[in-house]
Structure 1
Amino acid sequence: WEEEGVKNAVRQVVNSLFVAIVTYGVISNEYIRHIMFAFNEWNLVILFVVMLLGTYTGYRLTELKRFAPVAKGK
């Protein structure tokens, strides 16, 4: 809040709320809940994907937008 400013703090709160709402919507879906309980191996697949995304050190989508002028040569 004090180091990065109010705008950045509010943006982080909005992003966190968005992720929480989407996650709640996915978890409360009856079809997805049935699939997760009936086929437990999908939990391992999701865990693998989350671990893979957590170790990714390449470009983020936000960085592509940020460095677009450099890529265009401007």
Structure 2
Amino acid sequence: MLSARGAAALEEAAAGAARASGGRVVAVAGDVTSAAHRAALVAAARELGGLDLLVNNAGVLGGEPSAELAVEP
């Protein structure tokens, strides 16, 4: 299962993941700040038999220009 705000790019990513894995990939477009979207994610996970792995990559970096995330000495 994949989730993102942009439906078109999400569907493309899901199709590619399904081709690469040979399995079923469900795309659920929406914003994780929405309770309805979170409920849809839970329902989709249950329909697929649960989750084996969750990668949460949502966040806000702040103002422009973007700050450096790491500085190597």
Give TM-score, length-normalised by structure 1. 0.30
Give TM-score, length-normalised by structure 2. 0.30
Q: Quick check: which one's strand share is greater? A: 2
Please say which structure displays the higher CA radius of gyration. Answer: 1
Q: Quick check: which one's helix share is greater? A: 1
Report which structure shows greater RCO (CA 8 Å, sep ≥6): 2
